[in-house]
Each structure stands twice: as structure tokens, then as C-alpha cells.
Chains A and B, each alone.
Chain A
Amino acid sequence: MTRITLSRALNEGLRRALEADEKVMIMGEDVGRLGGVFRVTDGLQKDFGEHRVVDTPLAESGIIGTAIGLALRGYRPVCEIQFDGFVYPATDQIVSQLAKMRSRSRGRVALPVVIRIPFGGGIGAVEHHSESPEIFFAHTAGLRVVACADPADAFAMIQLAIAGDDPVIFFEPKRRYWDKAEVDLTAPPSDALPLDKARVVQPGDDVTLLSYGPLVRTCLEAAIAAREDGKSIEVIDLRSLSPLDMETITASVARTGRCVVTHEAPVYGGLGGEIAARVTEQCFYHLEAPVLRVGGFAVPYPPARTEDHYLPDLDRILDAVDRTFTY
């Protein structure tokens, strides 16, 4: 076991993937010589060459469009979009082409493209560097959308995403890039939890708390604080945003009777709404209270000095937990 950061765990996972299949390629802005603005691709171009780890022109639509062409040719491109707020120019290629080509061709064309996107706020950044655009892609049929939350899982998930034949939008919580944990770098990805499953990261009895990406850690911290109030919170890392692992979610809510979902993305139209609707439908008779959601407000992401008011924190999450007990 080695104690490494999330960023390094992803780096190691990418390295494994490049070693395992010569068709795997990495492409993006500044991923090669610089090693990526977050160093996630550090050292890879040196070891695998500049034609497998490609520094691209500054053109997001171009990155995804050419990745599609490479995939048609039999490659397995792993694209990096440098920051969440810059994915939008690529949206047409992702939604109109990447998501649809398997269905359009009735299964004749596979596009095993992975798009890595650092997402979320809490890093004191300027505009467009703290977005949470995951719902746009979760809403698009044909894409798989996942989010890693901690180093050990990230190491496995990136390898699983690359090995699968579906296009995957792979969200990485940028404010957790420097979190460290023990990772077994020899563990084969086949031993890991499948990509479409959620994980109970902290068992509990009184309320089910669902999250993904950067807030999983916040939820764990909230679970610790809640024990002083005498409440036992079950924290679940969704991992897969599309498809949702409803089996794990409903098994938990059936036991606890209460559910709170939290994400940085705005509550309005966010994934929490989809989860709430499904949990309500599938666990109606088990519910002691409606499913509550804690997330960003229906405003553009604010300037850094006020982002703490926008981002769900331990207190807001526990406030929602408290509110589920007022019904």
C-alpha cells in the first residue's frame, strides 16, 4: 500500500491503462510536456511518447471530435478537458456524436472514449473554474457519467472507464486532488467495485446521505459530527451518476426511512431531483420524510469570497438531516 494523493492515484491508473493496451491514448491541452495543470498526466509523455500522450491545439470541440475519429480507427482516447467550465464548446461533439453513434449505427460503431473533467468548486478560483456540469451529460442517453471521490477508488475507476466500450464522462473533484490515502497500486481493476455501482462508505441507521465527488468527504465529516447529536448517518458515494445504482440506494433508504442528497451543482434541475423522484417512487411506504436536497443555489457560481455560502458544507447538510426529522 502506498499513501498518495487523488491526483497521483489517477496518474497511476492512467499509467496502468497505457501499459495494458497500446491503443490507449491521452490527449488534451498541456497534458504532455507540462503534465497537466493538475499534474494528473505528469511523466506520462516522457514514458509513452508524444504520439500517445498528445498536446492538442486549444480547441475543446477539436479534442473530442478528433478523439471520435481516432476511436473509429480503433484507438481508445482518454481526453482531458482542462476545467469544467470549458467543456461547453465540446458539448455538440459529446451529445450529438459521441453519445449517439452506437445507437445510430445499431451497434456497429463503438466509441470507447473517456473524457476526464476536473469539476467542482472550493478552490478560490476565478469564474468558470468551479462548475458542476454533470447533469447535462447524465441527461444524455448513450453516455456513462461517473465521479470519483477518493484516491483508492479513483485508481480503479479510471482504469475501468478506459477498459469499457462505452463513452465515459469521468468527473474528478479538483479540490480533492491533494487528499491522500492508502492505495494498493497492485490491485487489479477487475477486483474493484464495478463502475455502475454505488458504495456505502459509512454505514448508519437513521438517515441515508447520498453524494458524489467532492462532497463525499464532507458527508463523512458530517456523519462524525452527527454522532454527537446521537444520529447515525449512512453515507453513500454514488460513483455512477448515469446509470444510478438504485439497488444500493433503495436498500439503504428502506432501512433508514430518510434520505438526503447533496451535490455542488444547483439543486434546481440537478441529479438530486432525479434521485428524489426515484426514491419516492420505489420506497414510498418506507419514507418517514420527503427526500431533501442540499446543493448550490439557482445562481451562477459566485466569486471566491462568497463561494462558502454557495457550497454545501457540514452545517447545511446536517441542517437538512435535522429537517428530515421534523416530519
Chain B
Amino acid sequence: MRKEFRLPDVGEGLTEADIVSWHVKPGDTVTINQIIVDIETAKAVVELPSPYAGTVSALLVDAGQTVDVGTPIIAVEVPGADDGPTEQEPARQEPETAEDAPQDTPPARQPVLVGYGVKPGSTSRRPRKKPPTRPGSYPATPSMPGAGGGQGAGPASPPRPPFPSGIQLPPGVPAPPRAPSAGQTRSRALAKPPVRRLARDLGVDLGGLAGTGPEGLVTREDVERAADAVTAAPGHGPQAGAAAQAAPGPAAEERIPVRGVRKHTAAAMVASAFTAPHVTEFLQVDVTETMAATRRARELPEFAGIKVSPLLFVAKALLIAAGRHPMINSSWDEAAREIVVKRPVNLGIAVAAERGLIVPNVKGADALPLAGLARAIDELAATARAGKATPADLAGGTITITNVGVFGVDTGTPILMPGEAAILAFGMVRDMPWVVAGELAVRKVTTLSLSFDHRIVDGELGSAVLRDVGSMLEDPVRMLAWS
């Protein structure tokens, strides 16, 4: 039988070796372990002993050649009974392949310091009979409730008192609940997390559904079908129905991560809304005179180059009102349990910047002349809109104005800036029917809404401030009288 000896990994980190010199030639008799060739690795010359006894039939590589590990280098005719296919040594790649016919050259292993070396990778998969199933090996997912769930301790555990180790139950705390007895189980549905989320968004109770998926799984379709059925009943608005009829699939909703400005705004709103008790009062005001004053101011040289809008007059009115009712410009200090009345008014202006709503403030706005106030508001708004508001701009506000009229609405219930006691919103200025001196007339009307922190500002004070602002806007001359 012809046997081939492949260049072995002699474990010196070589992937190849040079054939230095042959010690045998075709026709020579060789014995086991007789040195047949010198190879040179990167580090040293190594003698290779013959694994076979027999006659050399061919030298498969020449002296001077560089040979990869795994390449057949010599063929030896070994006397033997069977004349089968060429047997190649070593054949130790797979444990049960002794019977495999001539295989492809097994991939040479990357030699390492200890052992056989690293096998090279492969880029194709072995063919499978069938795809994997779930569960592969783990015990089957605990099935629908009622099938063995509901028991607490394992079967072999002896009864134990509920709270060992000297834990003292606080007085008045009732004894712990008994373990749920076998058979008494909660009704819990099986569903993938996205389906649970969908059910919650659609207002569907999973527990009441029969799942049509494997193992009783509630599927997305099950949930949507249930939502459709629900919207057929009265009392459900078009929104739920529309959502249920939306095409199933990943495009049913868009998710926008809450980051940066929006995130902080949200956090601030939550903090404020859930800390200070908000009360909002509304007042519709005839601002015809203010609009005229606005137009007149624009013509004045003191206001040249400055954007003048009704906002300026609303701001001024609020500042004057705060002067008359200092308590409106304050803050609730929970830790010290004090109301902190602030002296300068740092007037916050809500600006809709690209990244979200931000509220920079004009420091000491109450001390500014009207033109100075106008300029300050203008510059601050421009800076904020450009996204260049500094932390100093944003900190230290004591009272805030927000113009919701630019959004095309009349009014709202503004949320206090954290740490402030009041916020004034005003809406669109509309032409509205109004009663002037007993007669119907068309006037410019807007709605003011003042939210205040009821811990600091009671209804009387809040109303007084709102009335004052309204009065000044009705008759701007009052601003002169009260400042």
C-alpha cells in the first residue's frame, strides 16, 4: 500500500518549512524512525523520522523547496495485504472518520508553542438536517399558568417560619401573606415584550386573550384583533380605532429618543409640575391701546433697529406688577421651609429654539428702561434661537413670560419654571367683538393666563397681579402711573 507522509507540525510555530536535504531516494528501503529528511524551520534544522517501514516510491518535494505544513512530502510503499486507496498520515482531524474515503487535505493547523496548533477557520457551514428549535435543551418554558405554577417552596422543603434571623416586624404591620396554594394561580399571558408593549399602548388586557401562537403565545395579530373589537364598542374615540386599523408592521409608530434639551425640559417640567401646586387664572384683555402703543414705539428713534412687539409691553406690565406685588417674584425653599422673595426681577422669556423650548432670562429686567428692555429681550431671543444661550443666560430666572400666541392659540396652562412662583402666558391677539362704552365694537383682544405656586401665592394675590397686568395692557398709560 502506498502511504504518504505529510509535513507535520513540529510545534515550533511554523506554518511551513524548507526541505534542506533528503537522506533517502526512491528505491531505498526505510525502517520506522529512520531519519529521512532534514527540514529547516524558522528557528532550527529538525530531522524527521519515517513513520513507515518499506520502500521509498517517490520524493514528493525537492530539496530547497518551501513546503506548507500538511503537504505530502514522501510516498512509501509499505508491504501489506490490502491495496486500498492512498492512506495519508496523519489522519486525526475527526473522530469518526476512520471509514471516510480519501478526504480533502485537512486544513493545516496554525502551530503554537504547546500542542497541535490552531486550526484555520472555515467560511461555510456544515449542512443541517433541520433548523434548530426552541427550546434546544433547557426544560420547556414554564407553560401557561395552571400547569404546575403557583407553588412557592420546592416539594422537599420543610415548613419554615416566614421571617427568620431576628427580623423585627414593625408594630401594626400585618402578617405576611400565605403562600398561594397549588392550583390558585394568577392569570398571566405569554407574549413577547414588543407585543406586551403594543397591548399596553392599545389599551388591550393581555390576560383576557387567548393566544393563537405556539404554546399559547399571544401574538401581535391577537392584540390588534382585540383592539379592533374594542373600538367597535361605543366610548372609544377614533384615535384608538385608527391605531388598531393601522397596518401591522414595524412602521406603526416612530420612536424619537429623548435627549439633550428635550430631556432636560421634560425633567424640569416633571419636577416642577409635581412639586409646586399649580393654579392658573385667566383674563381676557382689550389690548387695542397696547397695539397702538407698539406701533407708535416702533417709530421712535430710541427703538430704531430693535424688534418691538406686544411682548415688550406685556413684559413691562408684568415687571411693574411684580414691583407692586413683590411676593410674585419669589421662590419656595423646601429645605429651609422659607419663601425667598427675590429683589431684582430676572425675567425669563420662553424661546422656541431648534432643539426645543429654552428659557433664557434678562437679568434685572425691572431696572431697565423700555428700550433697554426691548434690546435685551431681542438679543436674548436671537442668541437662544441660534443655540448659543449660555448657562448663565439660562440660570437665575425669577419670573417668566411665554408667548403662546405665536403658536396660533389663545391661551394655555403654563407650567412654572422650577424655583419660580409665577409664569404669565399670553395668546394670539385677535379681532373680537367687545363692549366699549355700552356699544359693540371690534377690538384687539388677547387672553392672559397666569399660573402660580399656590404655596406662595394665594388666589387674591394672583388675581391682583393678573388684574394689574390686564389693566396696564388695556391702558398703557397706567404703566407710567404705576412705575
**Are A281 and B138 touching (Cβ within 8 A)?**
yes
**Are A203 and B165 touching (Cβ within 8 A)?**
no
* Majority DSSP secondary structure for residues of B touching A: loop
- State which residues 122-154 of B face A: CB under 8 Å: 135, 138-139, 141-142, 145, 148-154
**Are A181 and B138 touching (Cβ within 8 A)?**
no
Instruction: Kindly provide the distance from the CB of B159 to the nearest chain A CB, expressed in whole angstroms.
Output: 12
Tell me whether A34 is interfacial, beta carbon within 8 Å.
no
Choice from B165, B169, B190, B193 contacting A181 with Cβ under 8 Å: B165
**Are A285 and B192 touching (Cβ within 8 A)?**
yes
Docked CA distance A255–B185 (Å): 8
Mask, B22-46, CB within 8 Å of A = 1, is 0000000000000000000000000
User: Assuming the A-B contacts A181-B164, A217-B165, are A251 and B142 also in contact, with contact meaning beta carbons closer than 8 angstroms in the complex?
Assistant: yes
Docked CA distance A98–B390 (Å): 63
Choice from B150, B164, B217 contacting A255 with Cβ under 8 Å: B150
**Are A283 and B167 touching (Cβ within 8 A)?**
no
Select the stretch in A46-54, A242-250, A295-303 that faces chain B: A242-250
Choice from B148, B157, B190 contacting A193 with Cβ under 8 Å: B157
Q: Which residues of A contact B163 (CB under 8 A)?
A: 202, 220, 224
Tell me whether B392 is interfacial, beta carbon within 8 Å.
no
User: Assuming the A-B contacts A193-B156, A194-B156, are A282 and B165 also in contact, with contact meaning beta carbons closer than 8 angstroms in the complex?
Assistant: no
**Are A221 and B217 touching (Cβ within 8 A)?**
no
Residue in B closest to A206 when the chains form the complex, CB atoms: B186
Tell me whether A199 is interfacial, beta carbon within 8 Å.
yes
Instruction: Kindly provide the distance from the CB of B209 to the nearest chain A CB, expressed in whole angstroms.
Output: 13
Mask, A236-279, CB within 8 Å of B = 1, is 00000000001110111011010000000000000000000010
**Are A285 and B158 touching (Cβ within 8 A)?**
no
**Are A179 and B154 touching (Cβ within 8 A)?**
no
**Are A247 and B176 touching (Cβ within 8 A)?**
no
**Are A288 and B166 touching (Cβ within 8 A)?**
no
Instruction: Kindly provide the distance from the CB of B212 to the nearest chain A CB, expressed in whole angstroms.
Output: 13
Tell me whether B160 is interfacial, beta carbon within 8 Å.
yes
Residue in A closest to B149 when the chains form the complex, CB atoms: A255
Tell me whether B247 is interfacial, beta carbon within 8 Å.
no
Instruction: Kindly provide the distance from the CB of B149 to the nearest chain A CB, expressed in whole angstroms.
Output: 5
Instruction: Kindly provide the distance from the CB of A22 to the nearest chain B CB, expressed in whole angstroms.
Output: 29
**Are B160 and A152 touching (Cβ within 8 A)?**
yes
**Are B164 and A151 touching (Cβ within 8 A)?**
yes
**Are A232 and B177 touching (Cβ within 8 A)?**
yes
Docked CA distance A194–B191 (Å): 34
Instruction: Kindly provide the distance from the CB of B167 to the nearest chain A CB, expressed in whole angstroms.
Output: 6
Tell me whether A88 is interfacial, beta carbon within 8 Å.
no
Instruction: Kindly provide the distance from the CB of B58 to the nearest chain A CB, expressed in whole angstroms.
Output: 43
**Are B164 and A250 touching (Cβ within 8 A)?**
no
Tell me whether B179 is interfacial, beta carbon within 8 Å.
yes
Interface size on B, residues (CB 8 A): 43
Q: Which residues of A contact B191 (CB under 8 A)?
A: 285
Tell me whether B170 is interfacial, beta carbon within 8 Å.
yes
**Are A204 and B177 touching (Cβ within 8 A)?**
yes
**Are B166 and A179 touching (Cβ within 8 A)?**
yes
Docked CA distance A179–B139 (Å): 37
User: Assuming the A-B contacts A282-B135, A286-B142, are A205 and B180 also in contact, with contact meaning beta carbons closer than 8 angstroms in the complex?
Assistant: yes
Instruction: Kindly provide the distance from the CB of B147 to the nearest chain A CB, expressed in whole angstroms.
Output: 10
**Are B145 and A255 touching (Cβ within 8 A)?**
yes
Q: Which residues of B contact A217 (CB under 8 A)?
A: 165, 167
Choice from A192, A194, A285 contacting B141 with Cβ under 8 Å: A285
Docked CA distance A257–B190 (Å): 10
**Are B142 and A254 touching (Cβ within 8 A)?**
yes
**Are A287 and B193 touching (Cβ within 8 A)?**
yes
Docked CA distance A194–B139 (Å): 20
Docked CA distance A249–B191 (Å): 19
Q: Which residues of B contact A102 (CB under 8 A)?
A: none
Q: Which residues of B contact A229 (CB under 8 A)?
A: none
**Are B154 and A182 touching (Cβ within 8 A)?**
no
Tell me whether A197 is interfacial, beta carbon within 8 Å.
yes
**Would you list the 8 A-B pairs with minimal beta carbon distance, nearest first?**
A254-B142, A285-B190, A203-B152, A203-B179, A181-B164, A179-B165, A200-B152, A200-B153
Residues of B within 8 A of A (CB): 135, 138-139, 141-142, 145, 148-154, 156-158, 160-167, 169-170, 173-174, 176-180, 185-186, 188, 190-193, 196, 215, 217
